[in-house]
Structure 1
Amino acid sequence: MAGFSPEWLALREPVDHAARNPQVLAAVGGYFAEKASLSVLDLGCGAGSNLRATYAALPDRQHWTLVDHDPALLAFARERLTDWADEAREQGEELVLAKDGKAITVDTRKVDLNKDLEWVLGWQPDLVTAAALFDLASKRWIERFVAALASQHLPLYAVLTHDGRETWQPEHPADSGIHAAFTDHQHGDKGFGPAAGPDACEIMAEAFRKSGFAISSGDSNWQLDAKHRPLREALAEGIAAAAGETGRLDPKTVADWLAARREAQSAMIGHQDFWARPI
């Protein structure tokens, strides 16, 4: 799986949290409202942002297992969670946290989700979560993942799956060309085979329907304005670099687009949140 730097994850976290669809999150919370405790498996956890954004909607006692392929990110997640919590202590391999009246234990595991997917889901959590993961995965892997969830009767709360929508203001003549090249790049192998990229949302929805899941979904778009300039600039640089790597565009066109986007007034990047549960 492609890696992401702690700096990038920290930069995007506030925007990720603001973008989450409140209706979808409320549906997840309502589903578990009668439970006193909950076990959660967070796939591709990065810096632990998904826990920080979701915990308040879940029961007062929670156990999270954070899995990622990158041991450096797992260590960073523990540091970030320790700083975030009202209280934190180590208990063996677990991190024990108190936050806003919630008691949260955290276990971190290095996992290859290509090789070990079914084994990990066999841990039988109450809830599986993931953020900004499925657009990186292949159609075949997504279908395998949904089949594994169905076999274990596990619900999924998946957030911030990129759906390909993107608008920048003011418009630029190279917008469509850059977007097309970037979309091509998104379909490259990110560690799970040829990535679904912006097709991931439709692939997931179809796979869940065929597997007999009930699905709720909603927009979780990034809305970037003047106060988000560092993230907007980093995003534009990443898009320009990816578009340039395809070789489809003249380098000057890419450079001109990037210069304009560094001064953009605003940007909208489309995402979807999903709540899928077995019927």
Structure 2
Amino acid sequence: MTGFDPEWLELRESADAEARAADLLAPLQEALPARGPLIIWDLGCGTGSLGRWLAPRLPNPQHWILYDDDPALLAKARVPASFETRAGDLAALRAADLAGASLVTASALLDVLTPARVDGLAAAITAARLPALLTLSVTGRVRLSPPDPLDADLAAAFDAHQRRGGLLGPDAVAAASEAFGRRGADVRTRPSPWRLGPDRPALTAAWLHGWVAAAVEQRPDLGPAADGYLRRRAGDLHIADLHVEVAHADLLALPGESM
């Protein structure tokens, strides 16, 4: 899971914040302790962008445990609350590690995990009887306006690239919902789409180049057409005519009565 670029994480933070499903906050807060400080584990925390969004929206005093396997990201991690950083592997996380916690969170994590890791994560969280807010997982739908004949081939190739090596990619939300639900959790999902375009030109351009590069890596036969596609899309963006919706979903898993 290492290798995420801090500059990319910074570039996308405002789009992430705008996309997050705020209507999941009310049921989440109902599941949290009414008094006392909250102990929040943020898994795959990156530089802490989810905590920077969520911490001001929770009423209690908080202590965040920012957990990631990338020491370079942990060195930059900050949230507007008491926090500590811990380096560790999600595959080794167990319910006993979460003793004393109030909440588990993650952002843009599920889709870069394998089915076994998502199942293990659900097992640890449900065994600890904790709520989990797992946000911004890609779901495999990208809509670009104006349309281009190459859009569909690039989208399909990108989705295949997301599934490489057995990763869940756009199947992550369905797999996580099943894994938590099978263990008795009350699972709720909400759409949390990125909306890109002329108001975020740097992010839109960076996303577009990364999207196309991943698609071409998966399907090299698309390479000869990709340069022309990027030129057309750069022209659309330059005249403020390119709009993109990248579908994501947020998942809230609450301890159920049978857990």
Name the TM-score, length of structure 1 as normaliser: 0.85
Give the counterpart letter for 1:269 in structure 2. V
Q: Given the alignment of the two structures, is residue 221 of structure 1 paired with residue 193 of structure 2, yes or no?
A: yes
Offset, 1:123: 3.8
Secondary structure of 1:250 counterpart: helix
Deviations 1:156-213 (A, max 9, x none): 0111111111101110111111011111110123xxxx21000001111111111100
- The 5-angstrom pairing of residues 99-118 of structure 1 reads 104-114=81-91, 116-118=92-94
Paired position in structure 1 for 2:211: 239
Q: Which residue of 2 aligns with 1:275?
A: 252
Moved over 4 A (4+): none
Structure having the larger proportion of residues in strand = 1
Tell me if the contact between 1:26 and 1:57 (Cα under 8 Å) persists in the aligned partners: no
Aligned residues: 251
- Provide the residue aligned with 2:115 in structure 1: 139
Take 2:41 and 2:185, find their aligned partners in 1: how far apart are those partners?
A: 19
Q: How does 1:162-201 map to 2 (within 5 A)?
A: 162-189=138-165, 194-201=166-173
Alpha-carbon deviation of 1:255? 1.5
Letter in 1 for 2:132: L
* Shift of residue 2, structure 1, vs aligned partner: 4.1
Amino acid corresponding to residue 122 of structure 2 in structure 1: V
Q: 1: CA distance between counterparts of 2:158 and 2:2?
A: 16
Alpha-carbon distance change, 205 to 73 in structure 1, aligned in 2, over 3 angstroms = same
* SS of corresponding position for 1:208: helix
Aligned to 1:94: none
The letter of the residue matching 1:246 is Q
Tell me by how many angstroms 1:248 deviates: 4.5
Match of 1:88 in 2: none
Say if 2:32 and 2:102, in contact at 8 Å, map to a contact too.
Answer: no
C-alpha RMSD over aligned residues: 1.6
Kindly indicate whether the alpha-carbon contact (under 8 Å) linking 2:32 and 2:103 is maintained by their aligned counterparts in 1.
no
Identity of aligned residues (%): 36
Q: Secondary structure at the match of 2:90?
A: coil
In the TM superposition, what are the counterparts of 1:30-49 in structure 2 within 5 Å?
Answer: 30-32=30-32, 34-49=34-49
In 1, distance between residues paired with 2:57 and 2:217?
Answer: 41
